Structure 1
């Protein structure tokens, strides 16, 4: 009998050890990599981000340094050889002789910089207000949510256009406009998740232990609201990139001395009918590839973190 009990215990101990070893992060990663489209999107985005980071050191020229431009190389189609240096312009040049591959590398850097900096600032503001609203409730919750509802009732592009019309052009101005536009999404998401958590026993236990409000909110309440926040952040990165490109295309975003993908598309728009498609098409492909890759990753994360949405 003792041997049977030990054998039974030995058989049940192994699954227990395996369950303990499988952390939630490992399970999430395993479920994420089951989707081939999500993996492809992640690989594409990593390659694009790596090119944006190291691109300015490996591309043939700084396209916004006038000393490196030659007007004789203006308007060359893809694959043509430079008249001055003898190098090959794989994606062609624009009217000023800028190498389009180099311009895309610099444009990607600005677009991703604006998106991620605005994302970090918007998450900080939105998460803080969302947790405060759900934890204290009452008038504080009503006031914060009324501001959120008021902002979300207007299109994001309209608010950004008004802000940039008042602030002027510049990378810092675009980042500020995107932060003001996006913080409300994070505040509503965190508040919706945290308001359920505030009714659970562990929050009551933390209050009975006389823990500070800040410790309860940010060390006990907020970590349980992270999964939906990750999904919203992934989607908002793509939206920030597309919104910045739209603003730059309309001429109210970044200045011409600090190019982005939207500004590159706008510069080549006038040359589409003349047959010089590469000036606008290649930056557009880079923009679409970036947004689609991020959306593929975000869709898979949404399914993994919320199993009820899985097919």
Structure 2
């Protein structure tokens, strides 16, 4: 009797064989993610942006938030011009004499912080509500989904504008407003995945073992809904950054003393027609690069984590 060779076992045996050879699921996911050049570009840009944003206090030539370091006589200098003290402004200055390179690095830090933190809170709240509603079913699920549908029927920018018009400016207030307008996306996403997973055998087995409902929902059901949730959360980070930039541009976002990229664009908007393009253009380019990098990573994660697309 002959022994079956690994290649005779068919594709179903390929995954266990690779696992026995020490290839973990994480390594397979990473290998699949970096199959395309755009994946390298998106991941590289995102890592670079995160590094320069975190290291902004150490690599920025100037602290744009320190009024003692600003000189109004250096206002609106063109890129490459030197100040009276001999300092070269490679990206020019704004009307307050703020170095645009330093302002962009600090503004990128605030924009990424607001986008990531608001997404984490919104994802946690929305995922918990969505998976609990899907598991409960009945009137509870119907009520939660009607609330989600009601919120999603209004534009996110409109809700955020109303909230910030009442609360006023502030990074913490912007984050709370973004959490309120975003949680419904995650609730709807997780609810759709949880409805599929609710009928699986492992959920029935957990019920037969008389496990607490909270343990079934958060220890068994929710972890199996994570792949689509990760994709949505990645894309929503870019959406949160763009929404915060829009709110700051309209004057209801972050305070003037801590400008984000959106507020930097607003500060230079009045000078676009006068030839001083750099005050608004360079922060806009940084904002576009950040949003494109995050979207590239999110699109590639969707292809890798979606089993239908992987086939």
**Do they fold alike, i.e. is TM over 0.5?**
yes
User: What is the rounded CA distance, in whole Å, between the counterparts of 2:118 and 2:71 in structure 1?
Assistant: 36
Does residue 153 of the first structure (1) align with residue 147 of the second (2)? no
User: What is the rounded CA distance, in whole Å, between the counterparts of 1:307 and 1:137 in structure 2?
Assistant: 26
| Aligned-pair CA distance for 1:56 | 1.9
Query: What residue is the counterpart of 1:40 in the other structure?
Result: 41
Query: What residue is the counterpart of 1:297 in the other structure?
Result: 297
Query: What residue is the counterpart of 1:142 in the other structure?
Result: 142
- In structure 1, stretches of 5+ residues that fail to align are none
Check 1:107–1:248 CA distance in 2 against 1; reply closer, same or farther (3 A cut).
Answer: same
Over residues 227-284 of structure 1, what are the superposed CA-to-partner deviations in whole Å (9 max), with x where a residue is unaligned? 1001100110000000000000000101101110000000000011111110000000
Q: Any idea what SS the aligned residue of 2:141 has?
A: helix
The aligned runs of 1:177-216 (5 Å cut-off) are 177-216=177-216
Query: What residue is the counterpart of 2:252 in the other structure?
Result: 252
| Aligned-pair CA distance for 1:214 | 1.1
Query: What residue is the counterpart of 2:236 in the other structure?
Result: 236
Check 1:94–1:195 CA distance in 2 against 1; reply closer, same or farther (3 A cut).
Answer: same
User: What is the rounded CA distance, in whole Å, between the counterparts of 2:108 and 2:5 in structure 1?
Assistant: 58
Does residue 79 of the first structure (1) align with residue 73 of the second (2)? no
User: What is the rounded CA distance, in whole Å, between the counterparts of 1:49 and 1:235 in structure 2?
Assistant: 16
Check 1:174–1:297 CA distance in 2 against 1; reply closer, same or farther (3 A cut).
Answer: same
Over residues 101-138 of structure 1, what are the superposed CA-to-partner deviations in whole Å (9 max), with x where a residue is unaligned? 01011101111111111011101110110111011111
Query: What residue is the counterpart of 2:129 in the other structure?
Result: 129
Does residue 111 of the first structure (1) align with residue 111 of the second (2)? yes
| Aligned-pair CA distance for 1:22 | 3.0
Q: Any idea what SS the aligned residue of 2:169 has?
A: coil
User: What is the rounded CA distance, in whole Å, between the counterparts of 2:249 and 2:7 in structure 1?
Assistant: 65
- In structure 2, stretches of 5+ residues that fail to align are none
- Alpha-carbon RMSD: 1.8
User: What is the rounded CA distance, in whole Å, between the counterparts of 1:137 and 1:289 in structure 2?
Assistant: 42
Check 1:38–1:65 CA distance in 2 against 1; reply closer, same or farther (3 A cut).
Answer: same
| Aligned-pair CA distance for 1:11 | 8.2
| Aligned-pair CA distance for 1:62 | 1.0
Query: What residue is the counterpart of 1:163 in the other structure?
Result: 163
The aligned runs of 1:91-102 (5 Å cut-off) are 91-102=91-102
TM-score, normalized by length of structure 1?
A: 0.94
How many matched pairs? Answer: 306
Query: What residue is the counterpart of 1:225 in the other structure?
Result: 225
